Structure 1
Amino acid sequence: MRLRVEFTTEPFDLDEAPPHAVVAREVVHSAELDAVDVGPFGNTAEGRADVVLGAVDELLRKCLAAGATRVSLQVNVVAEEES
């Protein structure tokens, strides 16, 4: 199964990335995900279910520890690519 996670962390700071946003970026870039898109207002990552779920667990733990007051996320099952 493949999953796509979309997430945001708060509070926002448009002048400088807050520590929890930096941590989120590090988590998704270090995971063995197939696709990652990090932006100022939302982030997406896609990959195998076990990898995405592991990254979500690490993301939540580290972002909250780094000062996030809210983490919003949505997880969707995506179709497998045919070979």
Structure 2
Amino acid sequence: MRLRVEFTTEPFDLEEAPAHAVVAREVVRGAALDAVDVGPFGNTAEGGADAVLAAVDTMLRRSLAVGATRISLQINVIEGAAGEAVPDDAGDPAAPEAGR
């Protein structure tokens, strides 16, 4: 399974990149991810589920440790094992179709 993560760390500083933003970017650039795109107002990266989840864990812990007060993130499944799209609620036990 492939995942796409999009995230932003706060507080913003338009004059200079804060330490938490620098750390977050270093984590995703150093992880085994592809399609990494970092910017002043948001960052995205794609990769295998294990790599993305490990990078997110590290990014959250390290960014919070150096001053992030808010981290907004979204993770999306971008394709299934056979390269087909996976529904947003796949694997969600609360989803109406789950367990059928």
Instruction: Please tell me the TM-score bracket, short chain as reference.
Output: over 0.9
Unaligned runs of 5+ in 2: 84-100
Matched with 2:13 is 13
Matched with 1:31 is 31
Cα separation, 2, equivalents of 1:50 and 1:9:
22
Deviation at 1:79, TM superposition (A): 1.8
Whether 2:63 is the aligned partner of 1:57: answer no
Deviation at 1:23, TM superposition (A): 0.1
Cα separation, 1, equivalents of 2:24 and 2:14:
16
Taking structure 1 as the reference length, what is the TM-score of the superposition? Answer: 0.95
Q: CA RMSD in A?
A: 1.2
Deviation at 1:34, TM superposition (A): 1.3
Deviation at 1:8, TM superposition (A): 0.1
Q: Could you say which structure has the greater relative contact order, defined with CA pairs below 8 angstroms and 6 or more residues apart?
A: 1
Instruction: Map Cα deviations across residues 20-77 of structure 1 (whole Å, 9 max, x no partner).
Output: 0000010000001011000001100100000000000000000000100000000000
Cα separation, 2, equivalents of 1:25 and 1:76:
19
Matched with 2:41 is 41
Q: Secondary structure at the match of 1:15?
A: coil
Unaligned runs of 5+ in 1: none
Cα separation, 2, equivalents of 1:74 and 1:25:
16
Matched with 1:70 is 70
The aligned length equals: 82
CA radius of gyration, larger in? 2
Cα separation, 1, equivalents of 2:20 and 2:35:
21
